[in-house]
Amino acid sequence: MTQEAQNAVGDYKYGFHDPESATIRFDKGLSEEVVRDISELKGEPEWMTDIRVKAYHHFMEREMPTWGNCDSLAGIDFDNVTYFLRSSDKTEKDWDDVPDDIKRTFDRLGIPEAEQKWLGGVTAQYESEAVYHSIREDLEEQGVLFLDMDSGLKEHPEIVKKYFGSVIPHTDNKFSALNTAVWSGGSFIYVPKGVHVEMPVQAYFRINAKNMGQFERTLIIADEGSSIHYVEGCTAPTYSTDSLHSAVVELIAMEGAKIRYSTVQNWSANVYNLVTKRGVAHKNATVEWVDGNIGSKLTMKYPAVLLKGEGAHAEVISVAYAGEGQHQDAGAKVHHLAPNTTSSILSKSISKNGGRSSYRGMLQVTPKAAGCRSKVICDALMLDEDSRSDTYPTMEIGNSTADLEHEASVSKVSGDQLFYLMSRGHTEEEAMGMIVNGFFEPFTRELPMEYAVELNRLLELEMEGSIG
Amino acid sequence: MTEVLLRVENLHVSVGDTPIIQGISLEINRGEIHAVMGRNGAGKSTLANVIMGHPAYQITSGAIHYKGENIEDMEVFERARAGVFLSFQYPAAIPGVQVGTFLRKSVASVRGQAPSPRAFRKELNEAMKQLDMDKSFLSRYVNEGFSGGEKKRLEILQMLLLQPHLALLDETDSGLDIDALRIVAEGINAVAKDTGCLIITHYQRLLDLVKPDVVHVLIDGKIVESGGPELALKLEKEGYDWLDALA
Ligand SMILES: Nc1ncnc2c1ncn2[C@@H]1O[C@H](COP(=O)(O)OP(=O)(O)OP(=O)(O)O)[C@@H](O)[C@H]1O
Ligand SMILES: [Mg+2]
């Protein structure tokens, strides 16, 4: 590797990258023509083209969001983003058919082995489209549909048409409009009535091309009384120019169903990570977001749950880690729209080397939602004096029977803890890594084992060389 | 042959501008047990902390030699890896870090290499059995929500696993019930043959079980009297007042 490349890649663990191997790549910038071309190239039905075009116009007219750390969004140059890039002509079923350089990347991320070990199914999204897709036979037998979103649209247009945009319409915000206009890839999952998917189902995403926007679109429908745990992991190589990641994730949990969506994102430090995630929980259904944000330049992400049916439950557990030059603006939004709904939000954040992490939360209780309960806990840990942590909780309470709790704490690593750990042979960095991992433990223990191990390793790496 | 493990020479220690230790000298050989006694606030913990390398304390004059070398410039973790161990008077809680993980990592750090999982499990089982500790400890978070006695037991468990050459035990006996005291004392005796021990205590009852070779009395940051085990017995009966004249 040249010195320059070494510098660019820096200490980012997954900062290796392969030469771009795109067979089709659009010029930078966005226009109605680009949007129509994407749709045509994918051979989409007309109704999807129409949605894209409508969303495109909405995106152009729509103001920047006002919820979140909006000033930093000014740094995005929309004209300097490539909106579509296809790295392989077809979605591969067989790992052997995946092009070599792409394979190498996944090998380094350990995906095939991971799959053999414990995954229910894998969709690896490399750049814009899934290049590798597989699903365990038993899932197929149970009637579970697990496809990349493009294939989902081709093979199950009636389901996609019914639910696409039903939770997050393109008019929701500027970035959901952008995603709707240019989306590519993502996962499509349908779990039939009463089916319980025992093993976590996983997808990996990477941004590999310079200035490459990534606009995946995920739709998960859990039919009555079913359950699924979906896991998404993201790592991206480091580049000197800014990349934009703007995904949309829609979850629909029908009566009595349960969806858990776990994410660990580890974007390189130049990525704008602006994701809209929202789930609907119908009667007695549960939607859980387990959301970890490490890296990126700016993350704005507030997984949301609409508690639409009586007795529905929402759970949001999130962690954020903000290092130098990074801002994690993350939180949760829960809307209690029906009686006797419950929610629990746990947010943990760490800031270091001048990094900034914010909890931004919305808790809404409508007049109809009698007898609901909600508990919000926000804990922030600061690793030095230069870092920053803020909490911005918003509450709109329209029903006086609501039982609400909110706890917030900000703490620092204590000298006593460091001394104790160092007296057991650990360097200051190691000690810090242990404290940080411990602080995130309530989150980590919710993850499948592989992810937990990887997250802990990442955090330990983050602590290295950080103490002067 | 006697091996001098620790030699403290006319040590003066301050926190900020406040002097706390004001001229302490002592020498501990391998296989010796030294007890340090004295009133609250006399400087006992400070002495132990400064030997371990706590960054809050400055050595203003004098020196600490461990195995013949001045250790002033050694970092805390380097001292630990070189075989110095401190059983804390107030062990810190590390939320979210499981005892089992912590012990495995600590053993790996101090020994310089990770033990094989199997060998470690065996070692751990034996040590825990010796201390009558339940396996459920391993999945709890380090010292979080531990009772006083449980914390002290975990300290001694670490001592057994880390096999130090110099063990500094700061009020390890306080908070222990009678059975636990006996168990912990057995733990100390088990390592004491090959170790130098500095035991800080307020009570004779530990010294009944762990026989000190030397007893030191610390008043206002100075050792005012040293003697054999009989000195501790005298303190037990008469208190410290008779020594004030010497301070
Ligand atoms: N970090 C510190 N900052 C300020 N003062 C300190 C610090 N450490 C110790 N001291 C002071 O030094 C004196 C000796 O404290 P030390 O903890 O060594 O006493 P001790 O002999 O261990 O007492 P005890 O029997 O109560 O444990 C006390 O007056 C204490 O307040
Ligand atoms: Mg003390």
User: pLDDT category, A186, cuts 50, 70, 90?
Assistant: confident
Q: Consecutive 10-residue runs of chain B (247 residues): their mean pLDDT? A: 89 96 95 95 97 96 96 96 97 95 96 90 94 93 95 95 96 91 91 92 93 95 93 88 79
The larger pLDDT score, comparing residue A279 to residue A73, is at A279
Comparing A76-90, A174-188, B134-148, the range with the smallest average pLDDT is A76-90
Closest CA to B106 of B162, B51, B166, B167: B162
Q: What is the pLDDT, as a whole number, of residue A83?
A: 80
Length of chain A: 468
Q: Which residues contact A266 (CB under 8 A, 6 or more apart)?
A: A13, A14, A233, A234, A235, A236, A294, A295, A458
Residue A47 corresponds to which tokens in the numbers above? 């109704």
SS3 labels along B130-177: HCCCCHHHHHCEECCCCCHHHHHHHHHHHHHHHCCCEEEEECCCCCCC
Cα(A184)–Cα(A194) distance, rounded to whole angstroms? 30
A93-121 residue pLDDT tens: 555 655 565 555 556 555 555 444 434 44
Cα(A259)–Cα(A156) distance, rounded to whole angstroms? 21
Chain A CB contacts of B79 below 8 Å: 423
Cα(A206)–Cα(A183) distance, rounded to whole angstroms? 15
Q: Which residues contact A453 (CB under 8 A, 6 or more apart)?
A: none
Distance from CA of B54 to the nearest CA of A (A): 7
Atom of ligand 1 nearest to the CA of B89: 27
Cα(B75)–Cα(A107) distance, rounded to whole angstroms? 40
Probe target for ligand 1 pocket from B39, B45, B170, with the most ligand atoms within 8 Å of CB? B45
Residue A107 corresponds to which tokens in the numbers above? 């090998």
Closest CA to A389 of A362, A410, A412, A408: A410
CA-CA-CA-CA dihedral for A271, A86, A95, A217, to nearest 10: 60
Q: Which residues contact A118 (CB under 8 A, 6 or more apart)?
A: A199, A200, A448, A449, A450
Cα(A198)–Cα(A119) distance, rounded to whole angstroms? 10
The larger pLDDT score, comparing residue B128 to residue A146, is at B128
Q: Is the CB of B56 under 6 A from ligand 1?
A: yes
Q: Which residues contact A141 (CB under 8 A, 6 or more apart)?
A: none
> What value does the mean pLDDT take over residues A28-57?
93
Cα B62 to ligand 2 centroid, rounded to whole Å: 22
- Among B75, B98, B102, B109, most A C-beta atoms within 10 A, so best to mutate, is B109
**Burial of residue A16 (number of CB atoms within 10 Å: 0-12, 13-18, 19+):** middle
Partner B contacted by A439 (CB < 8 A): yes
Query: Over 70: is that where the pLDDT of A335 sits?
Result: yes
B97·A437 Cβ contact <8 A: yes
A383-431 residue pLDDT tens: 888 888 888 889 999 999 999 999 999 988 999 999 999 999 999 999 9
Q: What is the pLDDT, as a whole number, of residue A455?
A: 75
Look at phi and psi of residue B136 and say left if phi exceeds 0, alpha if psi is from -120 to 50, else beta: alpha
Q: What is the pLDDT, as a whole number, of residue B66?
A: 97
Atom of ligand 1 nearest to the CA of B49: 18
Q: Report whether B16 contacts B194 (CB < 8 A).
A: no
Q: What is the pLDDT, as a whole number, of residue A118?
A: 38
Residue B179 corresponds to which tokens in the numbers above? 């059975």
Cα(A345)–Cα(A307) distance, rounded to whole angstroms? 14
Task: Among 3.90.1150.10, 3.50.50.60, 3.60.15.10, 3.40.50.300, name the CATH number for the domain at B4-92+155-246.
Answer: 3.40.50.300
A199-255 residue pLDDT tens: 777 765 555 454 455 888 999 999 999 999 998 865 544 444 557 889 999 999 999
A344: part of which helix (H) or strand (E)? strand A342-351
Cα–Cα distance list, A308 to A342, A366, A403, A455 (Å): 11, 11, 18, 33
B162·A425 Cβ contact <8 A: yes
Q: Report whether B204 contacts B236 (CB < 8 A).
A: yes
- Among B94, B99, B143, B163, most A C-beta atoms within 10 A, so best to mutate, is B94
Which of A415, A420, A434 has its CB closest to that of B91? A420
Length of chain B: 247
Q: What is the pLDDT, as a whole number, of residue B141?
A: 96
Tell me which residue has its CA closest to atom 19 in ligand 1: B41
Q: Where are the domains of chain B?
A: 4-92+155-246
Q: Report whether A358 contacts A392 (CB < 8 A).
A: yes
Query: Over 60: is that where the pLDDT of A195 sits?
Result: yes
Q: Which residues contact A30 (CB under 8 A, 6 or more apart)?
A: A56, A59, A78, A79, A81, A83, A181, A182
Cα(A78)–Cα(A69) distance, rounded to whole angstroms? 18
Q: What is the pLDDT, as a whole number, of residue B188?
A: 92
Q: What is the pLDDT, as a whole number, of residue A13?
A: 45
Q: Work out the percent of chain A whose per-residue pLDDT is above 90.
A: 49
Interface A:B, Cβ pairs < 8 A: 78
B76·A430 Cβ contact <8 A: no
B95·A439 Cβ contact <8 A: yes
Cα(A200)–Cα(A195) distance, rounded to whole angstroms? 14
B102·A424 Cβ contact <8 A: yes
B94·A434 Cβ contact <8 A: yes
A419: part of which helix (H) or strand (E)? helix A415-422
Cα(B154)–Cα(B151) distance, rounded to whole angstroms? 5
Partner B contacted by A427 (CB < 8 A): yes
